[in-house]
């Protein structure tokens, strides 16, 4: 009896295993491509994709963001994988909180959407150090993104780690999951030649390494003009209608369509009108495109110290269809939703017929798609930026506004024109909560916020980290553990120096590789200086009043996000290059080769006063108004804001 039961158990296990295998196989999705489009389970697909980066929003926002994207006509969610957010030190991985990649992919899957996983692992993305861990720069012999063994070793290890994680979760479409495309490297084609003999071999190695991962779905390389088969090269730009893949066997993909732009400190808010975004998308599909991805569809927020640049702001709103707070930006979101609906009506003839180009004027043309079943779709464009035109197509007149595309899903009736915005417009206003409360409460003063103030010491706090003649590079010293590095030195002024007269002042002259600086003399702030998003280097010059005897110069060097792109970007440094005092009786004193005392970070950082458990470790001064003209001050306040939406509809 026991033997019979054992045999029955084995048989039952076999049938269960067979059932599970067949069930899993039935869920698997075959993803391939031809010259026209991605092919999913034998069907050509026209795809609309949205970039939403999981670390740039909090997990509680993810379901709402994906739902809003789907309601906007989006089929696919796209995200980078952020190497430096996951591998905190060699082999030490983190996938919690905002970096819970598995949770994010599951939410996409539960929404019934596809996913494009841009593993990179270099991402650029206006992200600190381009997404590559800072520790990798200090692995001996490492040069990023070239035919360099240490870099390739760590890059392959991380890529394989992510691929295996996705395989364990059965996230690839070949396993029944949502991932239909994966990306290796990013925008390397534009700088490949600058790496000389190491450029092309590295790019080819990256492609071969990726394909060998055997994920069962195609790989893509953005802006990689020599991407080898079977890897698909793709376009990133404001306009990609004229892009042509590097092989007639590859489809035309647009992996970064920029509906706005990122913001840098001191610059204006970038804005791209919805009419122009829609025009670019319609022209792309008109000219044979089959996958468009908005970068970004929701930009979100650069939390903590993740902003790259340098000088890229905490906000990564990007003027995207979904704003930084997760709210649909109108009319952009609505205008693009209507565009998507019109394009989807054209899907079958577009993907199963070759276009016929008709010239309708000097800057006007039509592309007509017909399929074997008699389906017909047409795109009529007016590329004149200033003048409207009336054209005749198939014996019918059509009015075309300037810089517009009309979409005719049946080659007769206009379903959508990119220049005609008929969707509701809204403006968000952030209002302090206590002002809202004062509308019903006479006790306005009681609603005012209470500030806590903590003042940093100017110069070396605690025990110095080291003393060195001359300057050290800021980034090589802090290794991105903090944005702050103190440079402090002293020099003596003789009582007989004319500089002691109030009628004459010395001048402090400083040069720096970047990014910003506060200058103190004898504990008093003399001024500040910084570079900008175009040029990190800067010079500082300010009159100073010295005293007889010892004078202390303390310079707080600051980084504002590390370089995130460009050839050999990891070698771009920061910090002081020259410090001089001019105007002394004996001429200019060059302090550059002095003995400088260094301290990494701020005391408030060391005390972790920005954390809940660190706030009690220091004595905060309480005040109803923050102090003015007081440098190096930490502030804390508990305050709430609410969003007020103003909406209207303009029919054109």
Residue 420 to residue 273: CA distance in whole angstroms: 12
Band of pLDDT at residue 612, cut at 50, 70 and 90? confident
Residue 613 has pLDDT above 90, yes or no: no
Task: Report in angstroms the alpha-carbon separations of 232 from 37, 229, 238, 249, 544.
Answer: 11, 7, 20, 9, 60
Residue-wise pLDDT for 617-627, tens only, equals: 778 888 887 77
Band of pLDDT at residue 15, cut at 50, 70 and 90? low
Contact 304, 447 (CB under 8 A): no
Band of pLDDT at residue 450, cut at 50, 70 and 90? confident
Residue 131 maps to a domain: yes
* The pairing of beta strand 179-184 with beta strand 219-222: parallel
Residue 105 to residue 112: CA distance in whole angstroms: 11
Can you give the CATH number for the domain in which 473 is found?
Answer: 2.60.120.260
Same-domain pairing of 420 and 544 = no
Contact 361, 397 (CB under 8 A): no
Same-domain pairing of 186 and 131 = yes
Last residue of a domain, one of 582, 601, 620: 601
Band of pLDDT at residue 5, cut at 50, 70 and 90? low
Band of pLDDT at residue 495, cut at 50, 70 and 90? confident
Band of pLDDT at residue 630, cut at 50, 70 and 90? confident
- What residues contact 303, with CB distance under 8 A and at least 6 apart? 55, 56, 98, 314
- The average pLDDT across 97-124 equals 98
Give 61-66 contacts, CB < 8 A, sequence gap 24+: 61/326, 62/103, 62/104, 62/107, 63/107, 63/111, 64/326, 65/298, 65/322, 65/326, 66/107, 66/108, 66/111, 66/113
What is the Cα 63 distance to its own chain's centre? 20
Residue 65 has pLDDT above 70, yes or no: yes
Give the predicted TM-score (pTM) of the model.
0.91
Residue-wise pLDDT for 361-390, tens only, equals: 999 999 999 999 999 999 999 999 999 999
457 vs 54, higher pLDDT? 54
Residue 431's pLDDT is: 67
Contact 256, 295 (CB under 8 A): yes
Beta strands in 165-242 (DSSP E): 179-184, 219-222, 232-237
pLDDT cut 70: percent of the chain above it:
89
Same-domain pairing of 418 and 528 = no
Residue 21 has pLDDT above 80, yes or no: no
Residue-wise pLDDT for 111-152, tens only, equals: 999 999 999 999 999 999 999 999 999 999 999 999 999 999
Same-domain pairing of 574 and 614 = no
- The average pLDDT across 261-272 equals 95
Residue-wise pLDDT for 183-196, tens only, equals: 999 999 999 999 99
Band of pLDDT at residue 432, cut at 50, 70 and 90? low
Residue 14's pLDDT is: 52
Counting every residue written for the chain, the total comes to 652
Can you give the CATH number for the domain in which 247 is found?
Answer: 3.20.20.80
Q: Look at 116-125, 160-169, 431-440 and tell me which has the smallest mean pLDDT.
A: 431-440
Same-domain pairing of 267 and 366 = no
Residue 380's pLDDT is: 98
Give 527-535 contacts, CB < 8 A, sequence gap 24+: 530/558, 530/560, 531/310, 531/311, 532/264, 532/265, 532/266, 532/311, 533/264, 533/265, 533/266, 533/267, 533/309, 533/310, 533/311, 533/312
Same-domain pairing of 303 and 377 = no
357 by DSSP, 3-state: which? strand
Band of pLDDT at residue 17, cut at 50, 70 and 90? very low
Residue 25's pLDDT is: 44
Structural domain harbouring 627: 432-453+606-651
Domains identified in the chain, total number: 4
449 vs 330, higher pLDDT? 330
Same-domain pairing of 43 and 169 = yes
- The average pLDDT across 629-652 equals 61
Residue 43 to residue 39: CA distance in whole angstroms: 5
Residue 346 maps to a domain: no
Residue 508 has pLDDT above 50, yes or no: yes
Residue 69 maps to a domain: yes
* Burial status of residue 395 (CB atoms within 10 A of its CB: 0-12, 13-18, 19 or more): exposed
Residue 339 maps to a domain: no
Same-domain pairing of 526 and 577 = yes
- The average pLDDT across 282-287 equals 98
Residue 286's pLDDT is: 98
Best CA proximity match to 266, nearest among 574, 533, 562: 533
Same-domain pairing of 263 and 389 = no
Best CA proximity match to 203, nearest among 246, 241, 174: 246
Contact 406, 360 (CB under 8 A): no
Residue 483's pLDDT is: 97
**Residues annotated as part of the active site:** 187, 256
Same-domain pairing of 233 and 260 = yes
Same-domain pairing of 415 and 547 = no
Band of pLDDT at residue 429, cut at 50, 70 and 90? confident
604 vs 443, higher pLDDT? 604
Residue 62 maps to a domain: yes
- The average pLDDT across 517-534 equals 96
101 vs 621, higher pLDDT? 101
Q: What's the 3-state SS for 551-605?
A: EEEEEEEECCCCECCCCCHHHCCCCEEEEEEEEECCEEEECCCCEEEEEECCHHH
Name the CA dihedral angle for 429, 434, 439, 442, rounded to a multiple of 10 degrees. Answer: -160
How many CA atoms are closer than 13 Å to the CA of 130, on its beta-carbon side? 24
- The average pLDDT across 481-498 equals 90
- What residues contact 613, with CB distance under 8 A and at least 6 apart? none
Residue 335 maps to a domain: no
Residue 549 has pLDDT above 60, yes or no: yes
Last residue of a domain, one of 329, 362, 391: 329
Residue 650's pLDDT is: 36
Most confident of the following: 34-38, 438-442, 615-619: 34-38
Residue 334 maps to a domain: no
Q: Concatenate the DSSP letters of all residues of 251-301 into one string.
A: --EEEEE-SS---BTTSPPP---HHHHHHHHHHHHHTT--EEEEEEEE--B
Residue 8 has pLDDT above 60, yes or no: no
Residue 22 has pLDDT above 70, yes or no: no
Residue 223's pLDDT is: 98
Last residue of a domain, one of 601, 616, 643: 601
Residue 7 maps to a domain: no
Residue 444 has pLDDT above 70, yes or no: no
Same-domain pairing of 102 and 157 = yes
Residue 435's pLDDT is: 42
434 vs 652, higher pLDDT? 434
pLDDT cut 90: percent of the chain above it:
81
List residues bridging with 315 in a β-sheet. Answer: 301
- The average pLDDT across 477-494 equals 96
């Amino acid at each position: 009896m026991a033997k019979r039961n054992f045999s029955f158990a084995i048989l039952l296990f076999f049938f269960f295993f067979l059932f599970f295998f067949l069930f899993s196989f039935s869920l698997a999705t075959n993803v391939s491509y031809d010259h026209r489009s991605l092919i999913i389970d034998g069907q050509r697909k026209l795809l609309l994709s949205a970039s939403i980066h999981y670390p740039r929003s909090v997990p509680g926002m993810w379901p709402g963001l994906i739902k809003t994207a789907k309601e906007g006509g989006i089929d696919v969610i796209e995200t980078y994988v952020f190497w430096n957010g996951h591998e905190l030190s060699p082999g030490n991985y983190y996938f919690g909180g905002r970096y819970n990649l598995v949770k994010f992919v599951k939410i996409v899957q539960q929404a019934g959407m596809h996913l494009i996983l841009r593993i990179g692992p270099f991402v650029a993305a206006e992200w600190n150090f381009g997404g590559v861990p800072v520790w990798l720069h200090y692995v001996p012999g490492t040069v990023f993104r070239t035919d360099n063994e240490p870099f390739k070793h760590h890059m392959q290890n991380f890529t394989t780690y992510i691929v295996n994680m996705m395989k364990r979760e059965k996230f690839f479409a070949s396993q029944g999951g949502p991932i239909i495309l994966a990306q290796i490297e990013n925008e390397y084609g534009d700088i490949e030649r600058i790496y000389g003999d190491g450029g092309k071999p590295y790019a080819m190695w990256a492609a071969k390494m990726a394909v060998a991962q055997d994920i069962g779905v195609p790989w893509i390389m953005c802006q990689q003009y020599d991407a080898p088969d079977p890897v698909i090269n793709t376009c990133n730009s404001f306009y990609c209608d004229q892009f042509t893949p590097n092989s007639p066997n590859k489809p035309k993909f647009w992996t970064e369509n920029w509906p706005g732009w990122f913001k840098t400190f001191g610059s204006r808010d970038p804005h791209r009108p919805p009419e122009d975004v829609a025009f670019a998308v319609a022209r792309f599909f008109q000219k044979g495109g089959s996958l468009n991805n908005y970068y970004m569809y929701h930009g979100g927020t650069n939390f903590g110290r993740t902003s790259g640049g340098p000088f890229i702001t905490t906000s990564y709103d990007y003027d995207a269809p979904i704003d930084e707070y997760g709210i649909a930006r109108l009319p952009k979101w609505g205008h693009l939703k209507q565009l998507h609906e019109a394009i989807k009506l054209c899907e079958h003839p577009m993907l199963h017929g070759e276009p016929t180009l008709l010239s309708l004027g000097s800057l006007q043309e039509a592309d007509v798609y017909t399929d074997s079943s008699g389906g017909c779709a047409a795109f009529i464009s007016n590329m004149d930026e200033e003048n409207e035109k009336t054209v005749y197509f198939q014996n019918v007149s059509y009015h075309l506004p300037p810089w517009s595309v009309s979409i005719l899903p049946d080659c007769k009736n206009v379903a959508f024109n990119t220049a005609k915005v008929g969707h509701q417009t809204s403006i968000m206003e952030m209002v302090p909560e206590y002002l809202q409360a004062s509308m019903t409460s006479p006790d306005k003063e009681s609603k005012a916020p209470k500030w806590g103030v903590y003042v940093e010491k100017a110069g070396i706090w605690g025990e110095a980290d080291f003393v060195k003649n001359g300057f050290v590079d800021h980034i090589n010293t802090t290794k991105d553990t903090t944005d702050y590095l103190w440079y402090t030195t002293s020099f003596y002024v003789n009582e007989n120096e004319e500089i002691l007269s109030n009628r004459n002042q010395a001048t402090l002259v400083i040069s720096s590789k970047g990014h910003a600086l506060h200058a103190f003399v004898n504990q008093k702030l003399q001024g500040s200086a910084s570079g900008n998003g175009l040029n990190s280097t800067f010079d500082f010059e300010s009159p100073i009043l010295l005293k007889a005897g010892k004078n202390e110069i303390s310079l707080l060097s600051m980084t504002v996000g590390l370089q995130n792109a460009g050839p050999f970007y990891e070698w771009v440094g920061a910090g002081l290059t020259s410090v001089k005092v001019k105007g002394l009786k004996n001429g200019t004193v060059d302090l550059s080769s002095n003995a400088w005392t260094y301290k990494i970070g701020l005391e408030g950082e060391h005390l972790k006063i920005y954390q809940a458990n660190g706030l009690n470790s220091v004595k905060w001064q309480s005040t109803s108004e923050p102090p003015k003209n007081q440098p190096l001050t930490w502030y804390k306040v508990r305050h709430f804001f609410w969003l007020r939406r103003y909406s209207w509809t303009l029919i054109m």
